[in-house]
Each structure stands twice: as structure tokens, then as C-alpha cells.
Chains A and B, each alone.
Chain A
Amino acid sequence: MSNEKAIEAIQLTKKFGDFTAVNQVSFEIPKGEIFGLLGPNGAGKTTTIRMLCGILEPTAGEAHVMGYDVAKHSEEIKQRIGYMSQKFSLYDDLTVYENLDFYANLYGVPREKLKPRLAELIEMAGLRGHEKQLSSGLSGAWRQRLALACAIVHEPPMLFLDEPTAGVDPVSRREFWEMIYQLAGQGVSVLATTHYMDEAEFCNVIGMMYRSRLIALSDPDSLREGAIGVLFEVDCQEPSHAELVLKDLPFVLDVAAHGVLLHVQVASEKQKAELEQTLQSSGIIVERIERVLPSLEDIFVSLVDQENRQQIRADKD
């Protein structure tokens, strides 16, 4: 087993009675990477995390976290990971400093290291001057940064984040991810779960989970560039009319209304002129046609469609 892997999962499976919550999931995460595990609620993300943290025992398959077998060495794993959940587990009646101090004691940070470590964390989280404030009085973004600081008080080499920035504004979110990138730069490995596709954009490697299985594993750019065909965004008058016109064209793979815009999937870039011409000859005024990269949401939805079609075919056989 190589020391360069933060996580290695091989055919990891968890069954609850007849229900398979996680089905033969395999992946490897090199140290220092930020791995995003995406999928709708109920896809198996939380069960996967719980197995990796050594809380749940796998039914079959195996996993190693920081070189330790999750089935045999769960105590060693727990000492080496930090965990931040969506519902930040801060004590509302404690101050910023008291919360950090509490977690430091819980994780057994040695007394002599305590003071400098807490000072470092307060600095990192931008909470200097607010040490004596009750955590209940902090804004969402500050609470989130405090929760992160608490999760890493014992300097874990592996960090688990569960939907860390839900509901936080883009500026604060960027600051939060900047802290995560710094940790990754210091060699900390990160696994984040989310069902928000825009959050997934912050990760280096992405695994998409659907119905207990891992249906894609790649970096975001390869996922986007490996998508079928070319996507054009069309801004035109009468989009509902345009949708009908485009739907029946042989070279158009898919048309989807995207609010007031249309997303048109075709086989090649060259068909842009043809698109424009067809719309104009149908009397539709075109404001703009522009090639766009599919979002991770576009890709997720198309993978889920493929998966469902395969399932239907399998059920028929």
C-alpha cells in the first residue's frame, strides 16, 4: 500500500438488510487533493463517509484512510481526521475561544501546544478580535470558519467536509475555499460531499454518486470536455417557438429551455451557422449564439439519464 494515497476504496459495499446503500464503490485519492463526492440525497454519500471515518463497518470490500484499514484500525483513523458537518456543531453558549479550547481538549491537543495552535487558527479564520464573542452571535460565514477551525484543531492530515458552504454568499465562500486550498497546499487531503453542483467546481477530483454507485470519477475539466457533442447557448426572441423549430432538426441532439435561454446540443462546432440560419429563416430574431462548456449539473443529469436507460434495459432482460 503506497503512502501517497489519502484514501483507497476497493469495491466498498454497505448493505442494510435488503437495501444496498453503497454498491461496489472504488476510488483512490492522492494526498493533498480535494475530492468532491456529488449526488442527490440518498445516493449513498453519507454512508460512504461514515465507512471511511470508521463509524460504520463495510459489508464487503475494503477501504484505507491514510494507510489504515477502516475495518481494523478505526481508532487510528479517528485521530487523523477532521470532520465538519453542514450543521456546524458549535456550542452556542460558548465564545469563539471557548469553542476552540473545548475541541482542542477533546482531541487531546497537548497543553504546551494549545495556546500557539489556537492563536494560529484564530488568525487563519480571520476571527481575531472576536475571541470573546459568543458563537451564537456570529454570522453564517464566520460560524462556518470557526467550525472549520474547530475541525482542524488537532492538525489532522485528512479533512471531511459535509456540504460546507450551503447558503453562504459567493465572497465568503471563496474565502472559505481559499482556506481549504491553503490546507491542501500544506498536504492536507480533503473529501467534501455536496449536492450543490456549483460547490463541486471547487474540487480537484470529482466522484458522482447515484443510487449507491459511483457513476463518474474524474477532474472537473475532463468531465466537461469529455461530454458528448458541443453545447450552444442561444439567446433569441420567442424561445418556445425556437425550441419547437430546433427540436426536429436532424443534427440537433438535444434542446433544453434554460430560463429565457436555450441550450442546444449538437455534434460539432461547425453547426453553429446552420443553427443561426434555421432560426432566422423561421422568422426568429437571434440575439446571440455562443458555445458554452456544459456545467457539472448538465453532465450529472446526462449521466443519470444514461444510467436510468441502462437500468430500464437491464430490467427488461
Chain B
Amino acid sequence: MEEVIKTQQLTKYYSKTKEAEPALVGVDLIVKPGELYGLVGPDGAGKTTLLRILATVMEPTSGSAHLAELNVSKQPEKIRARLGYMPQAFSLYPDLSVMENLRFFADINGVPRKRQKTRIDELLDFARLTDFTKRRSENLSGGMRKKLALACALIHEPEILLLDEPTTGVDPVSRRELWQLLTKVIHQGVTVLVSTPYMDEAERCKTVSILYRGRILITGSPNELEKQMPFRIVEVKARPRRILREVADQTEGVLSWRAVGDRLRLSVSDSSQVLPNLEESLKREGANISILREARIVMEDVFIHLVEKQEAQG
């Protein structure tokens, strides 16, 4: 099997009149076995819609989607047996304990009783929830709820895992722990499709698609995408900040810039030419330079570039 997930021209309108903007337009997506695939985009880009269709909880308006070569519209039950889905909203029963939630999800996913105990023990250990089995899920911290939801999604040992913004609203320590768990899942050979609004999380994926207003703008490995960009990034920190901004505006070869804290990130056509010019102008204006160097292009630069290009084209 070459592709675990495949969509062709997947389109979704929520309104029948088709006057409203569609939630998804002509999405072609291929996820290979064992891959960690990131779906990146802001709120409203269509990430949740795409995952819901793949999780067989919603039908597309047109186009097709297959998981493990099964059609989402025609064989949803067969797909569900092989799929774990963790929606963004809290999907657990608040008045059930950690253990009761796991047993409930084991039952509805048809995990044989004999297998249940060992599988639940495995997952409690995996999510480090062994000491909290009796706690009602409504009394868990945000990070622990997410870990429990992940354990519930994995209860029937699915080969495909769909995660909708697992780290949104989670504090940094829990966010790191969730990513460590995801890494373990990947190492066990599960194919994972994860959506995130965070560009830094996209960097950790094997393949990334950037979704914007229902369309995929680009797909590739983070490294490939960063190399494809028709600009370099120069990072400058200098005080006073007003002079730094003026110099950035006036220096030839600077395509655009954005402020990140005290630093400016400049998109430039040729860094070897811009760097000495910047240094000279800043010094002439009496600015105190603490950082001036070429920096690595990151996914956030890629995203901003693509969206601005898109908006310029209308």
C-alpha cells in the first residue's frame, strides 16, 4: 500500500447555496505509511473539516477520500475499526473516571474483554496516568485530559491516527509531553495526521501541507519548503529600534521585514549584498548593533510569504 490516506479534489460546502465560501476546495492529499504528517493553518483554514471527513463523521460535498484503500463514503465502519480520532473539543465523559473512560472506549471500539486489561495498563503507563485511574476526567488538568483523550483514541490499536489540534490551549510542559507521546506512537509504526495552528510544530513533521481558506497552498518536507523560498532571511537586533526600522525600510534588496521582539527579520534577495549595506547604514546612523546575521528560514516565514502572495493575487 503506497498511501494510507488519499484524497482527490475533496470539496466541502456547508451552505447549499454555494454562495458562501467553501470550507474545503479541491484538496489532494497523500499520506504514506508510518508518516508523521502535519496539517498547518490558522483558525478557519479547513483543518477540522478535512479531519472530520477522514474520520467518517461528515460527508464531503464532492471529491473522494480513501483510508487504507477504503472509501469514506462507502465503507465508514471498516475505516473506523482501523482509525483513531481525537477531536479538538473535549471528547471524554466528564463524570466518568480515567479508568471508566478507557473501558468505555474499549467497549465501543470492540476491544475483546480479555485484551482490555493489558491494553489499558499499557496505555496508562504510556500516558503516565497510572496514579490517576480513579479521578473523574472533569477533574484532570488540561494536559492530562489531552493525554487521556489520546489514550482513548489508541485503545483499539489503530494503524491510522487523526489528531485535531492536540496542543491548542495546553501549557508548554504538557505540550512537550504530548509531542513525546506522539513520537512514541510514530515509532510504533502508526501513520499520524495531525493538525496545528503552530508553525513551530510543523517543523517536526515529515511532510507538511499548509492549508489556507480551504485550499492547500503547498506540500513538502519542512526542509524542502524552506529551500524553495525565493528569499533569504537576515536577522538584526539594534538600538534604538526606530533607527533600525528606518534603515530596514530604506536599504536596497530588503523585500519586507517583520518585527519579532527586539529583532527584525528581513526577507532579502541576496544576503551577501544586504548584510554589509545594513551594517554600514546602521553604524552611520549611530545605532548599536547586537545581532546581524543570516538566519534559517522557518515555517512561519514560508507561511507569511505564501499568504501574502495569495492575497496579492486576490
Contact = CB atoms under 8 A, between A and B. Distances in A.
A195 B44 CA distance: 22
Interface stretch (B91-99, B106-114, B181-189, B279-287): B181-189
Contacts of A202: 259-261
A260 B205 contact: yes
A201 B172 contact: no
Interface residues of B, number: 49
B179 A258 contact: yes
Interface stretch (A12-20, A46-54, A130-138, A170-178): A170-178
Interface string B189-221: 000000001111101111000001000000000
Contact of B260 (A201, A219, A290, A300): A201
Interface in A287-301: 288, 290, 292, 295, 297, 300-301
Interface of A: 34, 39-41, 139-140, 166-172, 174, 177-178, 181, 185, 195, 197-198, 201-204, 219-221, 235, 239-240, 256-261, 288, 290, 292, 295, 297, 300-301, 304
A301 B142 contact: no
A203 B263 CA distance: 10
Nearest to B186: A260
Given A185-B241, A201-B260, A219-B262, A168 B42 contact: yes
Contacts of A185: 241-242
B291 interface: yes
Most chain B Cβ neighbours within 10 Å, of A168, A171, A261, A295: A171
B237 interface: yes
A240 B187 contact: yes
A261 B203 contact: yes
Contact of B223 (A178, A235, A239): A235
A259 B304 contact: no
Contacts of A181: 241, 259
A140 B204 contact: no
B184 to A, nearest CB: 8
Given A169-B307, A290-B296, 6 more contacts: A34-B261, A169-B45, A198-B199, A221-B261, A261-B203, A292-B296
